Every structure is written in C-alpha cells, then in structure tokens.
Amino acid sequence: MNKTIQLLKQHDELKVIDEELDIYLEIPHLAYGEVKKKDGGKALLFTNVVDKKTGTKFDEDVFMNVFGSYKRCELLFGRTIESVADEITKLLHMKPPEGFSAKLSMVKDLFSLKNIFPKRLKGEGACQAIKYLKDDIDLYKLPVLTTWEQDGGPFITMAQVYTQSLNGELVNLGMYRLQVYDKKTLGMHWQIHKDSSHFFDQYQKAGKKMPVSIAIGGDPLYTWCATAPLPYGVNELLMYGLIKKQPARVVKSLTTPLYIPEDVDYVIEGWVDTEVLKIEGPFGDHTGYYTLEEPYPAMEVSAITTRKKPTYLATVVGKPPLEDKYMGWATGKIFFPLLKTTVPDLLDYHMPENAGFHNLILAKMQPLYKGHAKQFMHAFWGAGQMSFVKHAIFIDENGPKLENYEAFTSYILDRFSPKSLFISEGILDALDHSSPETLVGGKLGIDATVIQKIEAPSLLGDVKLLKEVKELIPDAVNLHQYMRRTKNPITVISVNKTKKVKEYFDALINLSPNIRIVVFIDEKNNDVYNSYMSIWRVTNNIDALRDIFISGLMVGIDGTNKNLLDGFEREWPDDVDCTLSVVESLKSKKLWDLDDDIYKKYKL
C-alpha cells in the first residue's frame, strides 16, 4: 500500500489524520462524511488508531476512501478507464488478419496477452513476513472497524476472498463482507448467487471443509478485480494482468491450497465447515438500510500473515454517494463491451448511484422493431449480475446523454403513458428488503423508445393542489410537483400512513385531470423537495408487482416503508444513520468539516 499512499500524496489526493480515533464508529463516520464531499473528497490515512473498548493501540494505519473519486480511480488503474474498455472491445472483435503488417500487429496483441495470467512464485511472499499460527491467531489484533451502531460487530469491508471449486480447476476472487465473531472465526457473507456460494455447495455435497484465503490491501486494483462481473469460473485476477500489462504475482497460502498476491498487506487463511451456519449481521449496507440477521457460513482461521509494516484497507457503506459510486463507474465503462455481446443494439447504459446501482438502470438503444425494448429488458434481467436490476428505463438513440438527468427525465416524461410500463417478476439481490419474499420480486421496465401521444394535465400550484389532496387524503402532510413542463409531471406526496397506499391513490382519481404520476413517501425521514434521496428511497422500497397502480393516464407509486397494513410480514430494516454523538465528537476535534447542507441533503 505504500506505493499507493505515495502516489495519492503526489497528486494531492490524500489527507492524513494524526488525531487518535476509534475503530468503533469514529473512523468510519469520518470516512463516510468525506466521500459525500464534492468529487469524493480525499483518501484518508488514519495514523493513530485505537480500540477504546479494550484499550488497544494499533501499530498499523487505516486507509480509506481510496477509490472515492474519478481521478483516484484512474490513478489506481494507471490508465484511462476508456482505454481498458477499448482494449476489451478490440479483443472481442479480433478478426483473421489480412496482409503481413496486420499479422504482425495481431501477433503483438496476442503476445501481450501472456501477461494476463497470474504468475505463481516459489517460496513465500512479502505478505507472509510475519506469521500467526495456532494459539497466536487473533483477529482482534487487526483494526477491523465497526461502522454503524446497530452492526452485529466488527466487519472486514474491503476483503479479497479467494476460493476454488471442489476439484481445484476453477478459482474465484470475490469481495464479501466478513463479520468478526471471535479471535478465530469469520462470517462469510457470500450470497447464494455468488461463485463462492456455488463452490460451497460442491464442498457441502461432498461432505468436505472448504478452503478460503482472504487478502487485504496490496495493489488496490486487486480489490477492484474482486468486484468485476466476470463469467462463472473466470479468474478475476486476469483483469489485473489485462489492465496493468503485467501478471499478478501470487504465492501459495501457508495452510490452504489457495494462491494470493504476494504483495498484499494481510492474509487470513482458514476452512469453512459446510455443515455449520452462524447468524450473521445486522450490517448497515450500501443500500442505505441495515441487512438483517441471517445464517451464513463461517470460517475457522488457520493462519494470519502480514507484511512487516502492513496498512489496513477498509471502506464504508451506507446511504449514497459512496466509494462504490466511483468503483461502479469504472466497472460500467469497462464491461460495456461484454454486455453488448448479449444486446448488440445497446448504445449506452448508466446506473445512478442514488438508486444503489442494482435498483435502476438507464439505457440507450437503437430500436429496430416493435417490442425491441421489451426484448432488451428480458436480456438484461437474464444476464449475470444485471439480472438483479429491479428497474430499467430505455430510450432510443435520439435521446440525451444518460448522465444528464434533467434532460433524460424530460425526454421520458414527454413520451410516457401507462402503456410504456412493463411489469415482470424475477430474481433480486439478497440485500433487497422490499418484496414479500426474499430473492424474488417485481421488476419494472419503461419503454420510452416509442412516443405515446397524450395531452398534458391542467396543473395546479403546490399550495392549491396540497389543499385539494388533503381534503381527499387527511393523512397527507406535504407535496411537491417535479417536471411541471412535461406531459407527465411527478407529484411527490408525504403521508403519515394509516392505511394501504392504494386507498390513497384511489382517493385521488377525481384529481386525474391535474396529476399524472404520483409518488407516495412517508413523512418521517423524508423530504418531498429532495429528489436525490427520494429516488434512493423509492427505488429501494418498491416491488413493482405490489406498488404500482394505474387508473387511466394516472400512475401511482408506493414508496413508503411497508408493514402489516400492507400485508408485509417480513421485518422491515432501519435506515443507516450516523450516531449524532460521534459526529459531535468529531466536530469538537475539528475533524468533521462536512457542510451542514450536504449533511441534510444526503440524510446522514
């Protein structure tokens, strides 16, 4: 990590915090505020790290918000993100060469591919300079952070998790949160759709323990590779070689058969008993909600090794925007060429960070025939990690840039009618909390490639409309109308809910000449004037099969928290919120310098 620290220092992308700070809430809260700043703030290096509960002072530094800006991403990649995407496009479209010069060019390109394969080294690596075995194993010697007050304990959040298939032929590198239960036990939060979970199934059927090696630190690109959406069985370290033009240098773990990069800062090795599950969580996750307690596999640690002077790499998750905004941007750009092999008429796509990525995708395509956009929706919902996307909006090639949200929204709303909606059912991310059952729920597609000709409504001002709404819905508290100049303005209404939202929607049908799209949110913890966080709330909270209502040209969306009023029998999780006493403490130390307006905007 020293090379990365020096690189970020040279480019004024690093802030060093020498003040004594606690691994319990203080360090992650400060990092959480930093990434909310314009352009992602700075990377943070904490040099005076303590655990106040036990009185422990750690020798190592804690390094956070490393990927938290577009500039830092490209510094860590060592090249532009577009150049990586162009290289993948070139490889995918490689054709037999014609002529001698073309053959020489192809030989050069193919020869460079030799560097993508990890290189196995003999002997030990720098990551194995210090060894802790048997009774010396103690996970509490690592400065593992507890990020949120309701978290079930400390969690490793920036891990490279190395696993292999039962026969050893396939390897996987993933990034999963890891709960520290005690000195020698870690929770493995790999969801059922992940490659490591598939490997786990193989070991479980064979009645064998599963080896796992976990790396922390080293080149940050290893960690990004762990998030890369590659096909099943493809070693994610191949991406490292492709990007860096040099192979990842790997060494064998001491107590498992797995290979890890020789220059990482920490390695935690161990074995998973496939017959034993432990309760994992809660954990304040990147959805901005706590994921609740559930049984997951656990690893018994067989060795911990480190560099001579390790640096502990961590990230913080919660409400957007987060570090994953920038990591996700790089992933989207780089893997666009691979996605086009499934949907060749796709021109561009974008996943807004305030929808938690998997909750919303915006896409531009070249529609060639009737129903083409619906075909795309099915393709997206059946393609690898894209299958977890809940909501997809498609525009044609004449539409504006997808990142221009104002123009994009106007374009959709001027072409939209209820006929544009397509509601289906499919798999959901395990972190999704909104659907009646886990892992399966409603999917919503909007086909804005076709113009639906309708007349604009007769609008009322917010004050007058709120008066009319309150007469029909006494539980209504406030409202605001967005995109009033379009044919389908959006009215956001906050309520103190005492009944099903469908009843509120039905009560408004008499106002259909004045409203088109109406979105209901809870009055508590929401602001009808905050569109960024309203999108976060609604895309998290809706299940399209249950929460979309249609009457003529009027569409309703129930973005409220669900409970028994809605027939919702699962537990609804709490928002991830900062602990105010911790924020005040950081302010008193003159470390918390986040503007109050930003604090309120992102509902921290």
CA angle (177 as vertex; 172, 178 as ends), nearest 5? 95
User: Do the beta carbons of residue 145 and residue 155 sit within 8 Å?
Assistant: yes
Give yes or no for residue 110 having a pLDDT over 50: no
- As a whole number of angstroms, the distance between CA 459 and CA 465 comes to 9
pLDDT digits (tens, 9 = 90+) for 371-398: 899 888 888 887 777 888 899 999 999 9
Q: How far is CA 412 from CA 136, 252, 415, 451, 550, in A?
A: 61, 53, 5, 9, 18
Q: What is the CATH number for 219?
A: 2.30.110.10
pLDDT digits (tens, 9 = 90+) for 438-482: 889 999 999 999 999 899 999 999 999 999 999 999 999 999 999
91: Cβ contacts below 8 Å, ≥ 6 apart? 109
Closest listed residue to residue 5, CA positions, set 316, 326, 313, 308? 313
Give yes or no for residue 108 having a pLDDT over 60: no
Q: Is 442 found in the same domain as 466?
A: no
User: Do the beta carbons of residue 321 and residue 211 sit within 8 Å?
Assistant: no
Q: Is 385 found in the same domain as 267?
A: no
Give yes or no for residue 357 having a pLDDT over 90: no
Q: Is 243 found in the same domain as 144?
A: yes
Q: Note the pLDDT of residue 461.
A: 95
- As a whole number of angstroms, the distance between CA 385 and CA 229 comes to 7
Q: Note the pLDDT of residue 103.
A: 45
Give yes or no for residue 305 having a pLDDT over 80: yes
Closest listed residue to residue 127, CA positions, set 269, 303, 266, 30? 266
Give yes or no for residue 298 having a pLDDT over 60: yes
- As a whole number of angstroms, the distance between CA 421 and CA 418 comes to 6
Q: Is 467 found in the same domain as 444?
A: no
Q: What 8-state DSSP symbol labels residue 11? A: T
Q: Is 444 found in the same domain as 363?
A: yes
pLDDT digits (tens, 9 = 90+) for 497-548: 999 999 999 999 999 999 999 999 999 999 999 999 999 999 999 999 999 9
Q: Is 438 found in the same domain as 504?
A: no
Q: What is the CATH number for 403?
A: 3.40.1670.10
On whether residue 288 sits in a domain, the answer given is yes
Q: Which two tokens stand for residue 3?
A: 């090379």
Give yes or no for residue 213 having a pLDDT over 90: yes
- As a whole number of angstroms, the distance between CA 176 and CA 281 comes to 13
Element (H, E) at 587: helix 580-588
Q: Is 289 found in the same domain as 159?
A: yes
Helix (H, G, I), strand (E, B) or coil at 566: helix
In the predicted model, what is the mean pLDDT of residues 38-53? 95
The secondary structure of the chain in percent helix, strand, coil, rounded to multiples of 5, reads: 35, 25, 40
Flag the least confident range among 193-197, 418-422, 495-499, 556-560: 193-197
Provide the mean pLDDT of the chain: 91
User: Do the beta carbons of residue 180 and residue 155 sit within 8 Å?
Assistant: yes
Q: Of 448, 470, 491, at which residue does a domain stop?
A: 448
Q: Is 546 found in the same domain as 437?
A: no
Helix (H, G, I), strand (E, B) or coil at 385: helix
Q: Is 283 found in the same domain as 173?
A: yes
Q: Of 417, 448, 479, at which residue does a domain stop?
A: 448
Q: Note the pLDDT of residue 98.
A: 56
- As a whole number of angstroms, the distance between CA 145 and CA 317 comes to 12
Q: Where do runs of H (alpha helix) occur along 261-402?
A: 323-342, 372-380
Strand-pair partners of 304: 132, 268
Radius of gyration of the chain measured on its C-alpha atoms: 25
On whether residue 335 sits in a domain, the answer given is no
Burial annotation 486-524 (CB, 10 A radius, 16+ → b, else e): bbbbbbbbbbebeeebeebbebbeebeebbbbbbbbbbe
User: Do the beta carbons of residue 340 and residue 346 sit within 8 Å?
Assistant: yes
Q: Is 303 found in the same domain as 195?
A: yes
- As a whole number of angstroms, the distance between CA 561 and CA 595 comes to 29
Residue owning tokens 């999704």: 432
Q: How many domains does the chain have?
A: 3
On whether residue 432 sits in a domain, the answer given is yes
In the predicted model, what is the mean pLDDT of residues 207-225? 96
Q: Is 466 found in the same domain as 444?
A: no
182: Cβ contacts below 8 Å, ≥ 6 apart? 139
Q: Note the pLDDT of residue 96.
A: 54
On whether residue 94 sits in a domain, the answer given is no
On whether residue 216 sits in a domain, the answer given is yes
> Could you tell me the pLDDT band of residue 107, with boundaries at 50, 70 and 90?
very low
* Domain membership of residue 424 as a residue range: 343-448
- As a whole number of angstroms, the distance between CA 387 and CA 380 comes to 6
Q: Is 240 found in the same domain as 286?
A: yes
Whole-prediction pTM: 0.91
In the predicted model, what is the mean pLDDT of residues 145-154? 96
Q: Cβ–Cβ contacts within 10 Å for residue 132, how many?
A: 16
Give yes or no for residue 106 having a pLDDT over 80: no
On whether residue 106 sits in a domain, the answer given is no
> Could you tell me the pLDDT band of residue 26, with boundaries at 50, 70 and 90?
very high
On whether residue 6 sits in a domain, the answer given is yes
Give yes or no for residue 177 having a pLDDT over 70: yes
Residue owning tokens 């239960």: 181
pLDDT digits (tens, 9 = 90+) for 557-566: 999 999 999 9
On whether residue 266 sits in a domain, the answer given is yes
In the predicted model, what is the mean pLDDT of residues 476-496? 97
Which of the pair, 107 or 392, is modelled with greater confidence? 392
pLDDT digits (tens, 9 = 90+) for 574-583: 999 999 999 9
